Amino acid sequence: MKRFCIAWLVWCCCITVFATTYTYTPSQLSALKTQLDSKLQAGDIAYLEDGTYTDFQVTFKGNGTESSPITLKARNPGKAILTGKLNLKISGKYLIIDGLVFKDGQAASGDIVEFRTSSSSFANNCRMTHCVMDNCNNPDSKYYNGTDNSERWIMLYGKNNKVDHCYFANKTAGGVLMMISLDNTDSQENSHIIEYNFFGYRQKFEPGNNAETIRIGDSKTSRSSSATIIRNNFFYTCDGEAETVSIKSCDNLVSQNIFYESAGSVVCRHGNRNTIEENVFIGNSKSNCGGVRIINKGQQVRNNFFQEIAGTGSRSALCVMMGIFEVPTSGTNTDREPLNAYHHVTEAIVNNNTFINCKNIDLGTNVSYTYDSSNPYYPGKKVDGTLKPEAVIASNVFYNPGDKSILNEVSGNVSSIACSNNSYMFKSTISKTGFIYQSMNYAKITSGAGKGIHTLNGAQVKPFAAAGVKCCGVSWYAAQQSDVNTINAKTDFWENPLTVEPAVIYSSVKVTVEKSKGVKIESPNALIDTVVLYNLEGKQLSFRNFKDYSCQFPFFGLSTGVYLLKIRTEDGNHYFFKISNSGR
* Domain extent listing, the chain: 76-443, 507-584
pLDDT(27) > 80: yes
Query: Measuring CA to CA, which residue among 185, 276, 296 is closest to residue 229?
Result: 276
Letter string b/e over residues 397-409, b meaning 16 or more CB atoms within 10 A of that residue's CB: bbbbeeeebbbbe
pLDDT at 457: 59
pLDDT at 474: 93
pLDDT(5) > 50: no
Which residues contact residue 34 at a Cβ distance below 8 angstroms, ignoring those fewer than 6 apart?
Answer: none
Of the spans 400-404, 452-456, 466-470, which averages the highest pLDDT?
400-404
Q: Which CATH superfamily is domain 507-584 in?
A: Immunoglobulins (2.60.40.10)
> Which contiguous run of DSSP H or E holds residue 4?
helix 2-14
pLDDT at 446: 82
- Which of 174-188, 355-369, 376-390, 467-481 has the least mean pLDDT? 467-481
Long-range contacts of 402-406 (CB under 8 A, 24+ apart): 402/357, 402/427, 403/359, 403/427, 404/428, 405/430, 406/317, 406/355, 406/358, 406/359, 406/360, 406/361
Quick: pLDDT tens for 110-133. Answer: 899 999 999 999 999 999 999 999
> Which contiguous run of DSSP H or E holds residue 482?
helix 478-490
Cα separation, 192 vs 199, whole angstroms: 17
Hey, how many other C-beta atoms are within 10 angstroms of the C-beta on 557?
8
Amino acid at the residue 373: S
Residues, the chain, total?
584
Q: Is 20 exposed, middle or buried (0-12, 13-18, 19+ CB in 10 A)?
A: exposed
pLDDT at 443: 86
pLDDT at 521: 86
Which residues contact residue 220 at a Cβ distance below 8 angstroms, ignoring those fewer than 6 apart?
Answer: 339
Query: 554 or 252, which is more confident?
Result: 252
Q: Are 73 and 98 in contact (CB under 8 A)?
A: yes
Q: Are 197 and 163 in contact (CB under 8 A)?
A: yes
Which residues contact residue 444 at a Cβ distance below 8 angstroms, ignoring those fewer than 6 apart?
Answer: 452, 453, 454, 455
Chain-centre distance of CA 180, in angstroms?
12
- Which of 132-141, 372-381, 446-455, 471-480 has the least mean pLDDT? 446-455
pLDDT(453) > 70: yes
Cα separation, 261 vs 490, whole angstroms: 11
Quick: pLDDT tens for 190-231. Answer: 999 999 999 999 999 999 999 999 999 999 999 999 999 999
**pTM to 2 decimals?**
0.84
Q: What would the mean pLDDT of 559-577 be, rounded to a whole number?
A: 76
- Which of 77-86, 274-283, 418-427, 513-522 has the least mean pLDDT? 513-522
Query: 506 or 445, which is more confident?
Result: 445
Backbone angles phi, psi at 21, to 5 degrees: -110, 140
- Dihedral sign from CA coordinates of 460, 461, 467, 469: negative
pLDDT(505) > 70: no
Percent with pLDDT over 70 in the chain: 88
Cα separation, 157 vs 192, whole angstroms: 9
Cα separation, 569 vs 532, whole angstroms: 12
Average pLDDT, the chain: 88
Q: Strands, E, within 161-257: which ranges?
A: 162-164, 167-169, 178-180, 193-195, 198-199, 214-216, 229-231, 234-236, 243-248, 253-255
- Which of 165-169, 473-477, 514-518 has the least mean pLDDT? 514-518
Percent with pLDDT over 90 in the chain: 72
Cα separation, 180 vs 247, whole angstroms: 10
Q: Is 167 exposed, middle or buried (0-12, 13-18, 19+ CB in 10 A)?
A: buried
Letter string b/e over residues 95-110, b meaning 16 or more CB atoms within 10 A of that residue's CB: bbbbbbbbbebbbeee
pLDDT at 84: 98
pLDDT at 526: 82
Task: Provide the CATH topology of domain 76-443.
Answer: Pectate Lyase C-like (2.160.20)
